[in-house]
Structure 1
Amino acid sequence: MATKKVSDIDAPEGAFGHDELAAAVVDFCDRWNIGVSHLASDGAEVSDRLNHCVKSYEKTEQHIQLSAQGILQSSSGKDPGAS
């Protein structure tokens, strides 16, 4: 996406043989390029947010695990769940 623009795939205006058709193709490719750029940046934003969610889940899981270990290893007496 970063190395090849959509507008690079259209042909020179003279290749169409019709000025209005050539202008329509150029306009289409320019708009398409804008849309593709938006999709790429939106995809990057989704990826960043998902990575943030993963990190939050990992921190929460670690906190719960440490809390559970602290409860089970409490010095207040024998573990009531142990048989």
Structure 2
Amino acid sequence: MTWGGVMGDGFSVDVDALKDAGLGLSELLVSLDELAVEDIDCDRKFVGHEGLADSYESFCSRWHVGVENLTKDGQELSTRLINAAGRYLAKDQELANTLNQFHAGGSGG
């Protein structure tokens, strides 16, 4: 569904694309959540070198923080996309109701 709104010529919003993007992002985040950073084996004894083990642990720790931040931001974006689609649909319905009332009031006399 494309929403033309009242913004003038050339402005339109593909509401389905907004909704699909939000839902798709949400599904992606669920699948990424299944690949936890904790699943990476960071046991020092398997690395074999103290400096390398320190670097590896640091990398895994920073990676974990980065994934948490990206997931949080992705969830926020997903919610906003879905909410924006809902607002466009609600406004479209509101405008349709207003036009129907105007038309019904004008055709009676």
**Following the alignment from structure 1 to structure 2, what is the Cα–Cα distance between the partners of residues 70 and 25?**
67
The higher radius of gyration belongs to 1
Unaligned runs of 5+ in 1: 79-83
State the match for 2:29 in structure 1.
Answer: none
Residues 10-29 of structure 1: matches in 2 within 5 Å?
10-29=41-60
For the aligned residues, what is the CA RMSD?
Answer: 1.9
Identity of aligned residues (%): 32
Highest relative contact order (Cα 8 Å, sep 6+), 1 or 2? Answer: 2
Instruction: Give the CA deviation at 1:3.
Output: 5.2
Q: Which amino acid aligns with 1:27?
A: S
**Following the alignment from structure 2 to structure 1, what is the Cα–Cα distance between the partners of residues 38 and 52?**
15
What secondary structure sits across from 1:73 in the alignment?
helix
Q: Which amino acid aligns with 2:88?
A: Y
For residues 24-81 of structure 1, give each alpha carbon's deviation from its aligned partner in whole angstroms, at most 9, with x where no partner exists.
Answer: 0010001001101111111100011112212211111011100111121115645xxx
2:80 counterpart of 1:49? yes
State the match for 2:37 in structure 1.
Answer: 6
Q: How many residues align?
A: 78
Unaligned runs of 5+ in 2: 1-31
**Following the alignment from structure 2 to structure 1, what is the Cα–Cα distance between the partners of residues 107 and 42?**
79
TM-score by length of 2: 0.62
TM-score by length of 1: 0.79
Instruction: Give the CA deviation at 1:19.
Output: 0.4
What secondary structure sits across from 2:105 in the alignment?
coil
